[in-house]
Copies of this chain bind each other. A is one copy, B any other.
């Protein structure tokens, strides 16, 4: 849209360049009707279109080329439906940066771990004619997106599969990451290793708890009372921690299944993390500033975000392409909390 600060040449009645608002006023039609005519939408009724065209001529309205290019969709927008838009989200950062590099802008909405909100957010993006949707899926059933996909909407899921849909997907190597954390602790001599993580109804929570059980069984350890999946609430996490420590053979080391659990555990452990060895799944910004520094299994956030955009771009180029699931590997970062012997 032309800036009103640009000085026009058409005399005192138009001290600034005429805008679409001026055209709408002159033609006596809605602003969106002007927008549609100016952008070549042929389904506008001929009487309305003619009124707009003659108002454009009378005012000497000239669409701003840059705005026009944006409106025409050559710079596209993709919707990202993520769990919490207000939380730090390194995958979203990578999505945003990679998207810009290929001429797309990212519009984010929050699902707040709520199926209804996810559906609202995603359908709202569909109504706003996004050029594609990237989703961090919550719902147990994503059939609601099938008509949009059938109509050509590119959709990519990340972090979790989109249940009920056959779409391109990027996942972390959850099982491999837990195996890395576990092997790191056994290498220091730990055998009684506990796990506190997310609810197993969540895909990542299930994958990580399962991988932990496999690892513990693999060294002949007892599973009994050592694996604590559940909601990430400080009281539940503190109770799980107490159960792991107040047993005849207390856990000497701990794997936490996600960032919020890691923080809740550190708060409950207090100074020097109570002498227990700790490896957290998922890295976080200030992990190196805590004492001890927090050893983590870092997810490949950048790689996940970049891959999501690559899959989306490939899908836009070829809607008939077979869908693909990409698993991105994790990386253990030792910082102190996971390097002590039992």
On A, residues with C-beta under 8 Å from B are 1-5, 19-21, 24, 29-33, 35-36, 42-46, 48, 67, 70-71, 75, 77, 84-90, 92-93, 96, 100, 105-110, 112, 117, 120-121, 123-129, 141, 143-144, 146-148, 150-151, 263, 266-267, 285-286, 289-291
- Measured in the bound complex, the distance between the Cα atoms of B117 and A19 in whole Å is 22
- Measured in the bound complex, the distance between the Cα atoms of B36 and A150 in whole Å is 19
Let me know if B77 and A124 touch, CB within 8 A: yes
A48 / chain B contacts, CB cutoff of 8 Å: 43
User: A144 contacts which of B1, B90, B100, B120 (Cβ < 8 Å)?
Assistant: B1
Let me know if B286 and A70 touch, CB within 8 A: no
| Given known contacts A92-B85, A290-B289, A147 and B1 CB-to-CB distance under 8 angstroms | yes
Please name 16 further chain A to chain B contacts, defined as beta carbons within 8 Å, in addition to the given A45-B46, A108-B108, sorted by A numbering.
A1-B123, A3-B143, A4-B147, A5-B143, A20-B147, A21-B150, A36-B43, A67-B123, A86-B88, A86-B90, A87-B93, A88-B88, A128-B128, A267-B289, A286-B289, A290-B290
- Measured in the bound complex, the distance between the Cα atoms of B107 and A36 in whole Å is 23
Q: Who on chain B is nearest to A96 by CB?
A: B110
Let me know if B105 and A121 touch, CB within 8 A: yes
Let me know if B77 and A86 touch, CB within 8 A: no
User: A44 contacts which of B24, B45, B117 (Cβ < 8 Å)?
Assistant: B45
Among all A-B residue pairs, the 10 with the closest Cβ atoms: A86-B93, A88-B88, A19-B147, A86-B92, A128-B128, A108-B108, A5-B143, A21-B151, A86-B89, A4-B146
- Nearest-neighbour CB distance to chain B for A237, whole angstroms, equals 15
- Nearest-neighbour CB distance to chain B for A163, whole angstroms, equals 12
- Measured in the bound complex, the distance between the Cα atoms of B77 and A215 in whole Å is 47
- Measured in the bound complex, the distance between the Cα atoms of B24 and A147 in whole Å is 12
13 contacts between A and B (CB under 8 A): A2-B147, A3-B144, A19-B147, A20-B147, A42-B45, A44-B45, A70-B124, A75-B120, A86-B88, A86-B90, A96-B110, A107-B128, A128-B129
Let me know if A31 and B151 touch, CB within 8 A: yes
Q: Who on chain B is nearest to A267 by CB?
A: B289
